[in-house]
Chain A
Amino acid sequence: MKLRLAWTLGAILLLPPVAVASAAARARPAAKATADGTDLSASYSFLRSGEAHLHGADISASFHLKRSWRLLADLSVHSGSFAGADLKQVNFMGGVRPLFGRGRRWQPFGQAMLGASHSTSKFSDVLTSSQTSWGGALGAGVDYRLSSHWALRGQGDYLILHSDAGWDEDPRLSIGLAYRLPR
């Protein structure tokens, strides 16, 4: 049920920008040139993984694909502890990011990605176990433009991962800076 809801949410997020963005692009050709450049971002990131609250970093790059659509690569690393064990999780995903209303100071976006996650649990350097999961993430965020190249970015994702241990649904929140290269 949660899975169906998540994928439905993803479809809703990804559908509208085609019409909205094309109109916005016609209205702001100068802004479009900047908006179409590659962007890089680095963020502090919080991940709820299973029952644990993990903290870390998220870096991503997105490249102009077509109209308001961008290709996206995302790497995040989180760590923390739970019940005396040290936990670490690395997520690497790629996908697409539709932009809503390009060129505005506030620029919302959605994103849908597929990829993998590797988690490691360690106790006292004596016992270590690890798990590789496959799945995807659905998310949304907003850029607040600080200058023509810099923006403050906040985003939230919902990671849906599958492994031998079953399904996991991990929410992730990130806040950081994005830098957009000129096209």
Chain B
Amino acid sequence: MWRCGSSPTSPSGVGVKLQGVVLQDATAASASAGVSAQSTTNAGKIVVTVQENPSLSVTVSGNGTFEIQGLPAGGFTLVFTVNGVTVGQITITAVAEGTTVKIVVKVSEQEVELVDMETDNDTETGTGDQGTKTCVIEGGKVGAGIELEGNVDSGSSSQFKLRVNGNRSSGLVDVAASAASYKCNGKKGGSDCKANLKPGVKVHVRGNLTSCGTSAATVTATEVMIQKD
């Protein structure tokens, strides 16, 4: 670690290793991934802390890179602060011991958005024996927990199609959300919140990947967070 002020990380080879790049969105503008390019200038000191073990904390370097080792297998939540103010968090689930997780995150003054995620066992979970990709979602494993961020393409609160941010999915993902709990801007909501789910809104979906092929995937959601109307 060559960063001033960074906390020491746990010994390598224990738990889960996380490598990340933070891209700052100084304008807080939001655009659908792949639709328009955003170019911004970084403007703040970003610290990433592991919620389950706050002693695991690193300062993001000037070029946006950071690394944390010794994360708990199974899952963990990363809390992002910009200039000392908490702007959001990202939860990573279903991570096996010894895995390296690579994430790209967009951080603005108001929110944190997971743009892309890969794991070092992608070749085992997302491709076949011949190296052919078998799941439309990068790193997707049928039956395992999954978290996706993106924009609603079409549908309703019980069933909708999700356009996943970045390059993580090469196609739309079907989300079955009839049994999911809904949150709007971090607060639990009922039917009023569900009514906000319409094409174009940005959502964070947590659930299980129930099926995945080369052109389609289905996620059964347990929680849908509507981040922006």
Q: Mark B1-40, 1 if CB is under 8 A from A, else 0.
A: 1111100000000000001110111000000011011111
Most chain A Cβ neighbours within 10 Å, of B2, B41, B61, B63: B63
Cα A83 to Cα B3 with chains together (Å): 18
Q: Are B103 and A169 within 8 A (Cβ)?
A: no
Which A residues contact B (CB, under 8 angstroms)? 2-3, 48-52, 82-85, 87, 89, 117, 119, 121, 123-133, 161, 163-171
- Given A124-B167, A128-B40, A129-B41, A168 and B19 touching (CB < 8 A)? no
**Min CB gap B152→A, angstroms:** 19
Please indicate the chain B residues that have their CB under 8 angstroms from the CB of A52 in the complex: 63, 65
Mostly, the A contact residues are strand
Q: Are A123 and B21 within 8 A (Cβ)?
A: yes
Interface size on B, residues (CB 8 A): 42
Q: Are A131 and B2 within 8 A (Cβ)?
A: no
Q: Are A169 and B40 within 8 A (Cβ)?
A: no
Inter-chain pairs besides A84-B116, A123-B115, A165-B45, 16 sampled, C-beta below 8 Å:
A50-B2, A51-B65, A119-B63, A123-B21, A123-B104, A123-B166, A124-B34, A127-B37, A127-B38, A128-B37, A131-B64, A164-B45, A166-B4, A166-B45, A168-B3, A168-B4
Cα A3 to Cα B5 with chains together (Å): 12
> Does B44 reach chain A (CB closer than 8 Å)?
yes
Q: Are A127 and B19 within 8 A (Cβ)?
A: no
Q: Are A121 and B5 within 8 A (Cβ)?
A: no
